[in-house]
A and B are shown apart, each in its own frame.
Chain A
Amino acid sequence: MNSLERILEAVHMRPVDPAPVAPVLLQQGARQLGMTLTEYFGDPAHAFEGQCRVVERFDPDAVFAIPHVVQDVLGWGSPLTFHPDGAPSVGGMVIKRYEDIPSLPKPDPTAHPYLAKTLRNAERLAKKYGGEKLVVGAVIGPFSLHSLLMGMGKSIGLLVEHEEARRQFYPILMERMMDYTVRWAQAQLSAGCHVVVVAEGVASATLLRERTFVQDAVPVIREFVRRVNGLVALELVGDASPFLKHLADLPVAVFLIGSQDPPREARRSIGQQALMGNLNNLKLIHWGPERVEFEARRVLAEAGPGFILSNQGPEVPFAVPDENIDALIRAARSRAQTRAA
């Protein structure tokens, strides 16, 4: 049974031996190539070579076509600011006032050179690993993308405070976001990704009240999943467990959960659907390998079948020692998924 088969078995909730493991190693390729993150992310084409090196070094069950998650803003004309020791950040807001929303363009993500190179990564990874490992793409979800285009304050303000602005502009904004994110997800799937992760950075109990989530976020998420033709994995960034029950019937391949979401609790909300997660990505920096292996075994024991061992989003930080990643993978390789503890 190869990596891809292991993951598919887990997605189908069947016991797997050994357990599948797919840490989100977006930055480790830079170290393998001897680059700073500024250099590495400066050209997304590096991500292909980086993923190949990651496979050689760690042999995880999945490879990632995207260099980082923030790239999605590029299609809207937002600049990126690169950092030597972390993921890029958004370098400026393209929506400065709510009144700018109606004049927003309808950008084609595939037309941006940076994003086009990401698609090329997907093609090359699919060609090289397609039958062997899961090839993963990712988009920032339609409900959350605008927070990177106008700032979190304006986004939440539009959602919960400025009623008139919301009435006038919110439907237009959502239509633009939906159109862009669906096209971008579809493009990645067409390029060869087996699955695309939709990361909703705003839609979780960390940021929203339940009523707001049900009223505003759930319809958008459902519409996105309905429109995308292919496998989707959903990540509610932050505290997801309290809200997962509202999405239990969503036809997604897997739900990504964070360290604050115990698998047992998440399972109670979504029933017999696959989960992926959830080691604390910041603690991975400072834990020793023994602790990493212990925590990984603990979560595997708790989760049982239908679980892919990984970190919480968005990625394994650059500062995490390679030995800790080895320990994470070793924990899965030495353990069969039988039943939840």
Chain B
Amino acid sequence: MPRNRRRDITQALARLIPKVGANDGDPGDGTSASSHGNGDNTGALGRGSRTGTSASTGAFPSRGVRTDGPQSADSARFGPIFERAHRIHQLFSLAQDAATSNAALLDRIHSMTSAASGGGFAAVTQSLVGTTDRLDVHANETVSAIEKALEEIRCLESSIRDLENAFDSLQERVSSIQDTAVKIADVAEMSHLLSLNARIEANRAGQQAAGFKVVAQEVGELARTTQTLSDEIDHEVSEIGENLGAFRGLFETNRTSLEHAGEAVSTLEETAQGIADDTEVLLGVTRDVEALAHSQVSIQDGFDWLRRHGEWVEQSAAALVDGLSGECDAVDHALRRAGAGQMVTDVRRFHDDMVRALRDDLPDLGERSVSAAVASGHPPAVLLQALAEASMDVFLGQTRRDEPLETYYRNGRILQHAVESIEPLVPDSFYTNAPVVVLGNAHEDYHDLGRRLVATSMRAAGFRVIDLGLSVSNDAFVETAIRENAHVIGVSSLLLHTAKAIPDLKQSLVEKGRRDIGVIAGGAPFIVDPDLRRRYGADGVGRSPYEAIRLVRHLVSRSGRSGVVAGSPGVFGRGEIGSGSRSDIRQPGGHGREAA
């Protein structure tokens, strides 16, 4: 790309330079450059680190400053060459921009890669999966053991019940024996009485009843023996009864204990079931976590892929920057050969001084540089371009450091002075194809500092800015944007409740058939919650003036509307010749109230 591009540019310049040289008698051999400066051929429009050194008088008379006055001929003479030169420098600047952003992206990818792989995610997940599996096994074993225990308790209950039944039966039998013993005792008593009666009758009968008397005595003896046995049986049975009574108490105790054990095991069963259920849930969660871990690994792979491609882009961007740097040198050299050497040197110096003024916060240097540049009589459009490049060079570095508002304020006052000094000198025709941005604070928002800084920076970047001021209604935004054929509406809002107007603003544009007009937002709510951009349907958010400018460029390019296609010279970009900026500071729809 650089090689071919360089050839194209060289050919284009070759076509232009002889014409220029022929017109003003410049020898076209490059020697004229030394008569206008020190021969520095390091970039007419500045590339940051290089410094112009020429202090000699300029190629253009330092009298009138309007480009449609005495300098018109110079502008016409060098304009086409400058258009090419600006384009080259613009491409160089964009390539630098891309390389810088890519470097930032790579830094972030490196840190994200470390963060994504830093936690031992796979090991944690594996441990979680293993633990959950074991928990599942333990829970199931516990439930199973409890079920067995419950079964055993139920068996025990049944056995105790059978035992109680047998015990009741035994008690009944003991009672029966006791009843029998009583009957035997009654029989013994009766036998004893019978024996007494028999002996009395035997005595009365005398000798003839001697045998009968013996029988009576034996019966009496038998009655006594029976009584004794009956007493013993009664005694034994009573003792058995007492023992059985004690057993009855033990049975009661056992039954109560068994009931309590049953209840405890039932509770345990419910708990174990809960654990088992939760373990089931945990298993599901673990599977989700594992899936997340798989995604994490995919993300890591994605980061590796991004890093690999980022490194390729880095290499390509470095080659592109290097190549375009050479092209810049070539066109600058060609410009010198064409007789524009002094202008090249002066404009370079103006660029470098403005970079220094902005970067080191030197407003006095900025004012002196602007005065000198304007007095030099060089085409104001060229100066505006140099200013745009200077501001973008500085903004780019600042954005990478997330500078505070104070920095943009300090830049803003230097840029404002420069823009207000140069802008009125540029002819109206210069602004024909400039991107148009309508800016304003959201309705009922009175915080103007951020909006003013963005407006100034956009003017310095070559945009046509229509600043509607504070508290702008959506109707005023839409009406102005359509009337002015704006590319973008920028809404500034410090308060969340005022930022809510953006969705309606987008909708109004759609209803008016102007979906092509982009809406960008800026202000604290969008910085605190970047997702608000998507939620409110804004086409982008600028955290800084530089981001806002880059965003507008992107939206204008994407819209495909007039003169915004990258590569068409003299149309658009970093203050490229042919675009320029013409800003209208007015408040047709704005609120008259003072700013907060």
**A170: min CB distance to chain B, Å:** 15
5 contacts between A and B (CB under 8 A): A85-B497, A93-B594, A93-B596, A151-B594, A153-B448
Given contact pairs A89-B596, A151-B596, enumerate 20 new A-B contacts (beta carbons under 8 Å).
A86-B496, A86-B497, A89-B495, A93-B596, A152-B596, A153-B448, A153-B595, A156-B406, A157-B409, A159-B406, A204-B404, A207-B404, A207-B405, A209-B403, A209-B404, A209-B407, A259-B528, A280-B528, A282-B525, A317-B496
Partner of B409, one of A93, A156, A204: A156
**A165: min CB distance to chain B, Å:** 13
User: What is the count of residue pairs linking A and B with beta-carbon distances less than 8 angstroms?
Assistant: 78
A205 CB-CB contact with B under 8 Å: yes
Determine the chain A residues whose CB is within 8 A of the CB of B413 once the complex forms: 157, 161
A90 CB-CB contact with B under 8 Å: yes
CA distance A130 to B547 in the complex (A): 49
Within 8 A of A (CB), among B164-186: none
B593 CB-CB contact with A under 8 Å: yes
**A215: min CB distance to chain B, Å:** 12
Given contacts A92-B594, A96-B594, A156 and B405 within 8 Å (CB-CB): yes
A148 CB-CB contact with B under 8 Å: yes
Determine the chain A residues whose CB is within 8 A of the CB of B496 once the complex forms: 86, 282, 317
**A77: min CB distance to chain B, Å:** 14
**B391: min CB distance to chain A, Å:** 18
Taking Cβ atoms with an 8 Å cutoff, the residues of B that contact A are: 363, 403-407, 409-410, 413, 444, 446-449, 452, 495-497, 525, 528-529, 531-532, 535, 593-596
Q: Are B596 and A286 in contact (CB under 8 A)?
A: no
Q: Are A283 and B497 in contact (CB under 8 A)?
A: no
CA distance A95 to B532 in the complex (A): 34
* Interchain residue pairs A-B with the least CB separation, the first 5: A86-B497, A282-B529, A153-B449, A207-B405, A152-B449
A116 CB-CB contact with B under 8 Å: no
Determine the chain A residues whose CB is within 8 A of the CB of B593 once the complex forms: 92
Closest B residue to A155 by beta carbon equals: B449
**B293: min CB distance to chain A, Å:** 17
CA distance A206 to B525 in the complex (A): 13
Given contacts A151-B594, A280-B528, A283-B529, A89 and B449 within 8 Å (CB-CB): no
Interface of A is mostly: loop
CA distance A153 to B450 in the complex (A): 9
Q: Are B532 and A282 in contact (CB under 8 A)?
A: yes
Q: Are B495 and A86 in contact (CB under 8 A)?
A: yes
Q: Are A151 and B595 in contact (CB under 8 A)?
A: yes
Determine the chain A residues whose CB is within 8 A of the CB of B403 once the complex forms: 209
Partner of A280, one of B404, B409, B447, B529: B529
Q: Are A208 and B406 in contact (CB under 8 A)?
A: yes
Closest B residue to A161 by beta carbon equals: B413
Within 8 A of B (CB), among A296-329: 312, 317
Determine the chain A residues whose CB is within 8 A of the CB of B404 once the complex forms: 204-209
Q: Are B444 and A81 in contact (CB under 8 A)?
A: yes
A83 CB-CB contact with B under 8 Å: yes
Given contacts A96-B594, A282-B525, A207 and B444 within 8 Å (CB-CB): no
Determine the chain B residues whose CB is within 8 A of the CB of A152 once the complex forms: 447, 449, 596
Q: Are B596 and A148 in contact (CB under 8 A)?
A: yes
